[in-house]
DNA sequence: ATGACGTTGCCTCAACGA
């Protein structure tokens, strides 16, 4: 089976491209982030017509996550245990479901904005809660993967140029340590192959010709438990989806499984 | 070709992204 994760930067604005990509890539399960719409505005009919069930958690113009599945959606859970709120709002940044033989989590980790911004400790707190929350699924026999936009470059190789990257967030030791703690719970990075160039970047800023110049980041990850990892036959970043008019600034990360 | 930022809300600009 084929499982993917994609930060689509607005479900409404990207719907036509999403539907076209579902038809060509034929994933069985897709984790989406940055829906930027409320649950009531999720176009479940169009997605259903493409053959997918939808589980979503969206509140409005910011954040929002979903899981699409051709193989059923069961045991849906919104959020994570101990999820920190920002201000008085618990933001829609995690949804988990069992889809056929796998359990997947669609994650949109807070950006952090700047190391001096309140969003930065919020990001670290979210990751700390995630590490604790993931331990049970990580240790289980059911293939499980926490997938999504982690907003962290795990290593300097995951940045197009760490010297030129205006590196406050995404590359700090605190963030990488917090990510390592999630992995230490029993989740391994499913490292994808790039379709072009040396590094499997998943994000390129819209500005400054970053995509044509391959000034990218690898911030979208699939962290898998041993049962999921053992079933992986291939993983790649579909950078072709970053091309053309109306693209998201992220490309899908696709994982193939012998399941 | 992949081309100089895009999306949303109530909006004519601000907030946000990474």
* A111 Cβ within 7 A of any nucleic strand B atom: yes
CA A78 to C1' B10, whole Å:
30
Q: What pLDDT, on the 0 to 100 scale, is given for residue A162? A: 80
Return positions of chain B under 7 A from a protein CB.
1-9, 16-18
Q: What pLDDT, on the 0 to 100 scale, is given for residue A163? A: 78
* A93 Cβ within 7 A of any nucleic strand B atom: no
> Per the annotation, does A225 bind a ligand?
no
> Residues of A with catalytic annotation?
108, 149, 250
CA A73 to C1' B16, whole Å:
31
* A193 Cβ within 7 A of any nucleic strand B atom: no
CA A240 to C1' B13, whole Å:
34
Beta strands A102-108 and A144-149 are: parallel
Q: What pLDDT, on the 0 to 100 scale, is given for residue A88? A: 85
Rounded Cα distance between A174 and A107, Å, is: 19
Q: Which residue has the tokens 């990257």?
A: A165
> Per the annotation, does A34 bind a ligand?
yes
CA A190 to C1' B11, whole Å:
42
Q: What pLDDT, on the 0 to 100 scale, is given for residue A165? A: 64
Q: pLDDT of chain A along its 259 residues, tens only?
A: 999 999 999 999 999 999 999 999 999 999 999 999 999 999 999 999 999 999 999 999 999 999 999 999 999 999 999 999 998 899 999 999 999 999 999 999 999 999 999 999 999 999 999 999 999 999 999 999 999 999 999 999 999 988 776 557 999 999 999 999 999 999 999 999 999 999 999 999 999 999 999 999 999 999 999 999 999 999 999 999 999 989 999 999 999 999 9
Q: What pLDDT, on the 0 to 100 scale, is given for residue A166? A: 57
Rounded Cα distance between A226 and A139, Å, is: 8
- Give the nucleotide nearest to A244 (CA→C1'): B2
- Give the nucleotide nearest to A214 (CA→C1'): B2
- Give the nucleotide nearest to A213 (CA→C1'): B2
Q: What pLDDT, on the 0 to 100 scale, is given for residue A17? A: 95
Q: A226 — phi, psi (to 5°)?
A: -55, -40
> Per the annotation, does A7 bind a ligand?
yes
> Per the annotation, does A250 bind a ligand?
yes
> Per the annotation, does A158 bind a ligand?
no
Task: Name, in order, each residue with C-beta under 8 angstroms of A248's C-beta and a sequence gap of 6 or more.
Answer: A6, A7, A8, A9, A10, A14, A17, A241, A242
CA A43 to C1' B9, whole Å:
19
């Amino acid at each position: 089976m084929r499982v993917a994760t994609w930060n689509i930067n607005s479900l409404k604005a990207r719907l036509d491209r999403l539907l076209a990509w579902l038809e060509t890539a034929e994933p069985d399960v897709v984790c989406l982030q940055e829906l930027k719409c409320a649950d009531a505005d999720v176009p479940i009919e169009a997605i259903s017509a493409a053959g997918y069930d939808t589980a979503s958690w969206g509140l409005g113009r910011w954040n929002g996550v979903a899981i699409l599945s051709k193989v059923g959606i069961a045991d849906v859970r919104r959020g994570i245990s101990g999820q920190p709120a920002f201000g008085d709002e618990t933001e829609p940044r995690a949804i988990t479901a069992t889809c056929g033989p796998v359990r997947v989590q669609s994650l949109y980790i807070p950006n952090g904005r700047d190391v001096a911004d309140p969003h930065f400790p919020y990001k670290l707190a979210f990751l700390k809660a995630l590490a604790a929350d993931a331990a049970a699924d990580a240790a289980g026999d059911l293939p499980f993967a926490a997938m999504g936009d982690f907003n962290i470059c795990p290593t300097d190789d995951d940045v197009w140029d760490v010297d030129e990257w205006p590196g406050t967030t995404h590359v700090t030791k605190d963030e990488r340590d917090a990510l390592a703690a999630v992995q230490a719970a029993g989740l391994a990075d499913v490292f994808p192959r790039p379709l072009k160039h040396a590094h499997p970047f998943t994000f390129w800023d819209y500005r400054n010709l970053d995509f044509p110049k391959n000034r990218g980041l690898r911030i979208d990850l699939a962290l898998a438990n041993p049962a999921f990892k053992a079933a992986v036959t291939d993983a790649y970043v579909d950078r072709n989806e970053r091309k053309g008019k109306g693209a998201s600034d992220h490309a899908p990360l696709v994982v193939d499984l012998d399941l």
